[in-house]
Structure 1
Amino acid sequence: MALNPDNYGLRLFVRYLVLCLIALIFIFPLVFMINSSFKPDSQLLADTSSLRAFLPVGDISFNNYFGAFRRAPVGLFVLNSVLVTGTTVLLSLLICSLAAFSFAFLRWKGRDVVLSIVIATLIIPFETIAIPLLLLVSKLPWIGLDGLHWGWLNTYRVQIIPWIADGLTIFLFVQYFKGLPGELIEASRAEGASWWQVYYRVVMPLSGPVLATAAILKFLVMYNQYLWPLIVVQQENYRPVMVGLGYFFQLNVAWGEVMAYLTLITVPVLIFYLFLQRAFIASIASTGVKG
């Protein structure tokens, strides 16, 4: 049956109109945040209840940004978050991909049971294990260059190591690995390749989309961490950006400085996503095709 060009054009117009409206809903908070970061508090509060909150300001002022840097060590907080997040993402991709490779390709007793337990951890809220985990890491020893230390509090490692492995990342890798052609694995093994060689020479070069997806999700989770760093880090030198947000709600709240701070800490997330967006979209497309 031939499609009516008029009906097809109308449906296409409605589809794009709906998509544009959805995009605007998600973009509005970002526009409001950036726009408000250049306004004095008096104008910001006056414009909040009108469409002027989303319109470009008349005279651009960077006073809020200067005030944000005076109120808190913004650069240090961003550096801490990028360091913790980047290290966690890299270690997580390595550890979780190795675990998923074992679940997807190797045969060992209890494999399915262990995988089910790993996936079941997704339903456990972090708040229920935060205190037990705090007691654990506060008693763990650490062998440093200058000897044995007790307790991991107020360190980078206490923010990194508990988050290296997680059920969601392992699950993503397992599902992707199972979708790879089995003939490639069998041919590699038939030619004498070890399982380690299959992992880094065959499987991982084909795993760009899932690597990007897992990296973006892990980056967002780690960069937005608040509860865990709040209870394990008391020293300013190790605090991430979300804990640093508390500096702006002491005594008088300057909303312009808050918006400036939020704008600054959003930049690393946007850069990271833009860097991996093609692989992320490719992952979504490949998942849709397989479905």
Structure 2
Amino acid sequence: MASINPANHGLRLAVRYAVLSIIAVVFLFPLVFMIMSSFKPDLQLLQDTGSLRAFLPVGDLSFENYREAFERAPVWTFVKNSIIVTGLTVALSLFFCSLAAFSFAFLNWHGRDTVLAVILATLIVPFETIAIPLLLLVSKLPWLGMDGIEWGWLNTYRVQIIPWVADGLTIFLFVQYFKDLPHELVEAARVEGASWWQIYSRVVMPLAGPVLATAAILKFLVMYNQYLWPLIVVQEESYRPVMVGLQYFFQLNTAWGEVMAYLTLITVPVLIFYLALQRAFIASIASTGVKG
């Protein structure tokens, strides 16, 4: 067996970390620019964009842009709405899509492959082609509320959540992951008399940490960045999400410092969610394993 040269190994490791560090810096540049610009007045912000000063905390720095951003728009209302809509959609999507994927991966029923093919085919359908029919549908659907039956879902949280609970990509991710799990685990659980729900909740899902984190991050980004659908179905300010709220800063006079302050504020939940899921993703990989 050939011995490994410690010097060559150390050099390769140093080069690898250097390349990864450069890539990380490149990806961090937009965030650094956004945060630094949020503390600068518009004139200085525009002057600094042509040099490295745009990435440095130099010049006349203050929290004035943040104060004016809160005066121009109800920022916390938009952030709250996005967190509610995104959080509920992600939770419901993970539950229902994993249930559907479980049936495709472990249950034998007539037409299973055809139904899965139809679901995957929806991935190539642009949202713009179904936006108007979906709008007409949700504007007439009933809903059982506290005051009885209500007609129409417009200007509500549910109209921003329910249409996006199930999607082909999330189902596909779960199906592919479930198919790679040892089916002997399911067969052993069936022999022990476990029900399908018990197999799903106690055998399969505890092993699904990586795909849960991946699907949650992808779904979170899609929902948090929703613009066109909320713009169509939500006219009341109290239900608008952050992306629709961004247009408040481009009305009349555009203040780029306020725009950067607003973007910084709405990016914080994304970073917190990503870092939390990244830690959970690493932990799930470290703890997940099947011994032969």
TM-score by length of 2: 0.93
1:31 has 2:32 as partner: yes
Deviating more after overlay: 93-102 vs 129-138: 129-138
In the aligned structure 2, how far is the partner of 1:283 from the partner of 1:32?
Answer: 34
Deviating more after overlay: 17-26 vs 2-11: 2-11
- Find the residue that maps to 2:149 and give its secondary structure: strand
Deviation, structure 1 residue 238: 0.4
1:132 — aligned with what? Answer: 133
2:96 — aligned with what? Answer: 95
Deviating more after overlay: 117-126 vs 239-248: 117-126
In the aligned structure 1, how far is the partner of 2:282 from the partner of 2:139?
Answer: 41
In the aligned structure 2, how far is the partner of 1:87 from the partner of 1:262?
Answer: 23
Q: 1:4 to 1:208 in 2, by over 3 A?
A: closer
1:149 — aligned with what? Answer: 150
Deviation, structure 1 residue 147: 2.2
Q: 1:113 to 1:285 in 2, by over 3 A?
A: farther
In the aligned structure 2, how far is the partner of 1:14 from the partner of 1:284?
Answer: 26
Deviation, structure 1 residue 197: 0.9
Deviation, structure 1 residue 15: 2.6
2:172 — aligned with what? Answer: 171
Matches within 5 A, 1:1-291: 1-281=2-282
Tell me if the contact between 1:38 and 1:57 (Cα under 8 Å) persists in the aligned partners: no
- The one-letter code matched in structure 1 to 2:21 is C
Deviating more after overlay: 206-215 vs 184-193: 206-215
- Find the residue that maps to 1:149 and give its secondary structure: strand
TM-score by length of 1: 0.93
In the aligned structure 1, how far is the partner of 2:25 from the partner of 2:122?
Answer: 35
Deviation, structure 1 residue 43: 0.8
Consecutive unaligned residues in structure 1, runs of 5 or more: 287-291
In the aligned structure 1, how far is the partner of 2:284 from the partner of 2:123?
Answer: 21
Deviation, structure 1 residue 285: 9.2
Tell me if the contact between 2:213 and 2:280 (Cα under 8 Å) persists in the aligned partners: yes
Tell me if the contact between 2:40 and 2:59 (Cα under 8 Å) persists in the aligned partners: no
In the aligned structure 1, how far is the partner of 2:9 from the partner of 2:186?
Answer: 45
In the aligned structure 2, how far is the partner of 1:273 from the partner of 1:223?
Answer: 12
- Find the residue that maps to 1:268 and give its secondary structure: helix
- What are the Cα deviations for residues 20-54 of structure 1, in whole angstroms up to 9, with x where unaligned? 22211111000000000011111101101111001
Provide the alpha-carbon RMSD of the alignment: 1.9
- What are the Cα deviations for residues 77-113 of structure 1, in whole angstroms up to 9, with x where unaligned? 0000000111111111111011001001000001011
- The one-letter code matched in structure 1 to 2:147 is D
In the aligned structure 1, how far is the partner of 2:261 from the partner of 2:109?
Answer: 53
